[in-house]
Chains A and B, each alone.
Chain A
Amino acid sequence: MAEAHAEAIERHEAPRGFIRRYLFSLDHKVIGIQYYLLALVSVFIGLTLSILMRLHLVWPQASVPLLDKLSPVGAPHGVITPEYYLSLLTLHGTMMVFFVLTTAPQSGFGNYFLPIQIGAEDMAFPRLNMLSFWVTFSAFIVLVATFFIQDGPPIGGWTSYPPLSAVGGAAGPGMAVGENLWIVSIALFCVASMLGAINFIATTLDLRARGLSLMKLPLTCWSWFLTAILGLLSFAVLLAAGVLLLLDRVGGTSFFIPGGLIVSDKIVPHTGGSPLLWQHLFWFFGHPEVYIAILPGMGVTSHILSTFARKPIFGYRAMVYAMSAIGVLGFCVWGHHMFVSGMSPYSAFAFSILTMAIGVPSAIKTFNWIGTLIGGKIRFTTPMLFAIGFVSLFVTGGLSGIFLGQPPIDLYFHDTYFVLAHFHLIMGVAAIFGIFAGTYFWFPKMFGRMMNATLGKIHFWFTFVGVYAIFMPMHYLGLEGHPRRYSELIDNFLLPLISVHRFISIAAFITGGAQLIFLFNLLWSMFRGAKAADNPWEATTLEWTIPSPPPFDNFAGKHPVIYNGPYEFSVPGATKDFIMQNSAEVVAAGH
């Protein structure tokens, strides 16, 4: 059948050796899975750290077995010191933001499915792709190494604000070698992300199948493409900031360290630097980073909602424009992280207006997601549940952003648990729900087996209810003025809040434990799950036209031709309730 095709078929086969095939592979699918597994390891490290923090907050004297082996200084007899709490916090944030939220949805799923969804055989630059992964992996190793040095990981938080992050060991445990390693890790991560972004952009622009115009791209591809642009532009700035910070620490420069600074009773021999300069550079990266984490989740959610509502996505173009607008605006709002930095009220006003403006495209997206669901013949599969959960969390987390985006309100809320609740819901958990949705949705394609649906639904309900139970009460803590990053509740005004903290901690333990269901389901289904058909979800995009799992060269040397949009569900007059993107015969009937 395929041999009769007029075009020359040029099949490519996988290298045979284990190392070239699975370790230093040039295959985008293997690299995608490598990224995914890296994120999986990271997310469980990050989760464990947060469990330890929740434990310490409500039972500060609790002794954690084996923790004193890992860090005799940070946790003598297994009891976490306040400084070690900050170390855990730093590593939790860094792990989650960089190695989970940036890695899994973009580099993981993007690598695996972008080439397939656009009908390409691989990413544009496979060697660069492999390099990106291994640089990311070394960044991970450098970061994890901070656990095993004398005074533990840095305590500067994932934002690593100077001057304390710039003055070395005087600023506390982990701020000597640990902080250097942190910067090196992040710098490596920046380089890897930029290399990856170049690959994504070139692939999307140049390797699309015939007939696949930009406006026929699945929204997942649009989100990966836009995310890559954001990453390319923003990680470069973080890299520059990291270089300057490292020079302040090891080169004696004063980019960020002001004059006359006294740390631990000693004058720091620097002059004239500006700690705010770091904040500007950092948040110029940091805010787009939020969208780097969430945009792929938006893409996956749109994709899955349409597929399981058996309806075309509501307002495809509006979705594309909204995502683009979010990307552009994301570069104009970094100042809203710095309202309390003493910035001019006029600047704050401008940043505030621009921040509010992001509400418009966000509302368009939410409106369209709901519009997609209305009147649909909804199939409540596990990926669909997580996609709907994404919408829910996106709305909940987004609404608190409207509070925080206003300078007078933010003056009060800044650095309280309200902020914690906001960004965990929208950036953390919503993006994680995007990852879960993508995992349940694409697992059959990636591994050729179905994940267990019952376990998936149990996992969903525990997680969905759990994250609300964890993060909703944090709004209340914030309203009460509870500051972030406190390791124990010893102030009088905080003591009455201990019961709220207990509730949150117990909810966190249960929700964290429920993730083991996911882990079990994932690993078990890889080997024991029911065999997956080529198109188990009756979806329309190109990855479902090829075997599960796909062959090494994806389309077996053929070049798919695209006739239809990505979300042709329930087209009147069509034989089935979905039309594949490369299905030629229905073009006349459908349009």
Chain B
Amino acid sequence: MASTTLTPTRPEEAAGIDDTGQGGGGFPPGDFRGGGGWAEYRVPERTYRLGMWFALTGIVMLFAAFTSALVVRKGMSFDWVAVSLPRILWLNTFVLLASSATLELSRRSLRAGSANEFFRWLSATVVLGLGFLGGQLVAWRELAARGVYLATNPGSSFFYVLTAAHGLHLLGGVVALAYVASRARRIALGRARRTPVDVTAIYWHFMDALWIYVFFVLVSWM
């Protein structure tokens, strides 16, 4: 961990360094005052990003546990039945990848100072995210129509567990994006911090990558 670089080791050195800790995102501290008259406690944006990366570490461990359970469960039994994956998953994958692209376009618009573009691309990301979740539901319906449910066979159990766990996490991402979109104007005009945008973007791209991983696991181990 490059943590030692985050905090200066010697006070003498520290004295020379501008306190980047205050007002992350380039906004004057005055902007962060709450309505109640008291200054609100805030930590630098960097800290939120760091926290998000560690949250993602926890999520990685969750999926690592599911994966290892899958590998062991498949390897130790004779009742494994492969689930032929619904074709729509490929389309869903494309939709999710597209959502990462639109999210980056929205952030680019934000940097360029274009509030409307920012909001538009952000909304597109939300729609694509919901589209992915809808597509996953279609995949579930397709399996159900084939008579493949959660408890049908071990393969289907893991299919539903992995897709549901990822879907729930992605749903959280959609909620976060919707929150950011609801404040898009204030963020673009500099009246609210950009931190939620950046942190949500980390999360969203990571969920994208996580889906690629889950999809890869499903394709190669089913």
Contacts and interface: CB of A to CB of B under 8 A. Distances in A.
B192 to A, nearest CB: 16
Contact of B1 (A205, A243, A273): A205
Contact of B41 (A12, A197, A208): A12
Interface of B: 1, 3-4, 6-11, 14-15, 38-41, 43-44, 46-48, 50-51, 54-55, 57-66, 68-69, 72-73, 76-80, 150-151, 154, 157, 161, 165
B43 A210 contact: no
User: Which 6 pairs between the two chains have the least Cβ-Cβ distance?
Assistant: A252-B151, A236-B61, A272-B79, A240-B65, A272-B77, A211-B11
A236 B50 contact: no
A121 interface: yes
Contact of A240 (B14, B50, B66, B77): B66
B73 A13 contact: no
Interface in A107-134: 121-122, 124-126, 128
A205 B44 CA distance: 12
Given A194-B58, A236-B61, A254-B154, A259 B79 contact: yes
Contacts of A194: 55, 58
A259 B7 CA distance: 56
A240 B46 contact: no
B61 A207 contact: no
A271 B79 contact: yes
B58 A197 contact: yes
Interface string A195-225: 0011101100111101111100000000000
Nearest to B11: A211
A198 B8 CA distance: 22
A424 interface: no
Given A126-B41, A202-B51, A255-B73, A241 B65 contact: yes
A334 to B, nearest CB: 12
Contacts of B1: 205
Interface in A297-327: none
Give the interface centre of A205, A207, A271 by most chain B CB atoms within 10 Å: A205
A272 B153 CA distance: 10
A350 interface: no
B157 A254 contact: yes
B11 A124 contact: no
Nearest to A269: B151
A244 B58 contact: no
Contact of B47 (A12, A206, A561): A206
Given A121-B41, A272-B154, A281-B65, A198 B77 contact: no
Interface residues of A, number: 56
12 contacts: A126-B41, A194-B55, A198-B58, A201-B54, A202-B50, A210-B15, A211-B11, A213-B8, A240-B66, A241-B69, A274-B73, A563-B11
Interface string A261-289: 00000000001111011001100100000
A222 to B, nearest CB: 12
A214 to B, nearest CB: 6
Interface string A229-241: 0001111110111
Given A206-B46, A272-B78, A232 B51 contact: no
A281 B73 CA distance: 12
A457 B15 CA distance: 46
A561 B11 contact: yes
Given A10-B39, A125-B51, A254-B151, 6 more contacts: A194-B55, A236-B58, A241-B69, A251-B150, A271-B77, A273-B77
Contacts of A124: 43, 47, 51
A30 to B, nearest CB: 14
B196 to A, nearest CB: 13
Nearest to A216: B9
Contacts of A243: 161, 165
A254 B47 CA distance: 42
A143 to B, nearest CB: 22
A253 interface: yes
B69 A255 contact: yes
Give the interface centre of A198, A207, A562 by most chain B CB atoms within 10 Å: A198
A241 B55 CA distance: 19
Contact of B77 (A26, A202, A274, A561): A274
B202 to A, nearest CB: 13
B73 A273 contact: yes
A214 B4 contact: yes
B73 A236 contact: no
A247 interface: yes
B65 A236 contact: yes
Nearest to A251: B150
B31 to A, nearest CB: 14
Contacts of B7: 206, 208, 210, 212-214
B160 to A, nearest CB: 9
